[in-house]
Amino acid sequence: EGLPLEITTGTRTSSVTAVLRGELPGPTVLLRGDMDALPILEATNLDFASANGNMHACGHDLHTAGLVGAAKVLSAHQSELHGSVIFMFQPGEEGHGGAKIMLEEGLLAAAGDPPVAAYAIHVGPGPRGVFATRGGPVAAGSNQLTVKLKGRGGHGSQPHQTLDPVPAAAELVLALQSFVTRRFNAFDPVVLSITRL
């Protein structure tokens, strides 16, 4: 509030989208910060600790504060700004599809022209005041793969009368983990791990 922003809130989630239009022509850029708390009891006994059973355990409070700070700083320079900035305050980052919902609700069209670039930061443990980046992916996502092999049992002395899934499962583990190394560049951050049989 109090900034020259066009603010909209999500209808299917608690998202907030704000647009700052610069006074000079130029491209649109998106800045993202996630803002959801996690259902973890904050047992720090600090004066500002959450008391409702949810805490910003992944630095989401800092991400939100940083995005609000960016909106304030850029708003103060609106007359010098070339193009527009979309501020994406994203809930549901921890596996709840908040970004997907925001995209479906028109996030990328919020300023008219779609953004030419999107930026976000994520805090982590380590020395304060240090920013690190590199070309390409910086953070990781995860997914799950489930494979069900069905066989037909029998007696160990007559394996020819069974449909034994165990050798197939053993081959599958090696094949899947080798598959990644044969399909992706060794310098790409791709890992497939079979963690349970």
Task: Choose among 106, 80, 81, 91: nearest CA to 8.
Answer: 106
Q: What is the pLDDT of residue 1?
A: 85
In a shared domain, residues 105 and 166: no
In a domain, 134, yes or no: no
Q: What is the pLDDT of residue 157?
A: 92
Name the token pair of 11.
């209808």
- The helix (run of H) or strand (run of E) holding residue 171 is helix 165-183
pLDDT mean by block of 10 residues, the chain; 197 residues: 95 94 96 86 86 79 90 97 96 83 95 94 80 75 85 90 91 89 83 84
Q: What is the pLDDT of residue 144?
A: 85
Q: What is the pLDDT of residue 122?
A: 82
Q: Please, are residues 30 and 17 in contact by the beta-carbon 8 Å criterion?
A: no
CATH, residue 106: 3.40.630.10
In a shared domain, residues 70 and 104: yes
Name the token pair of 148.
């069900």
Residue finishing a domain among 70, 88, 120:
120
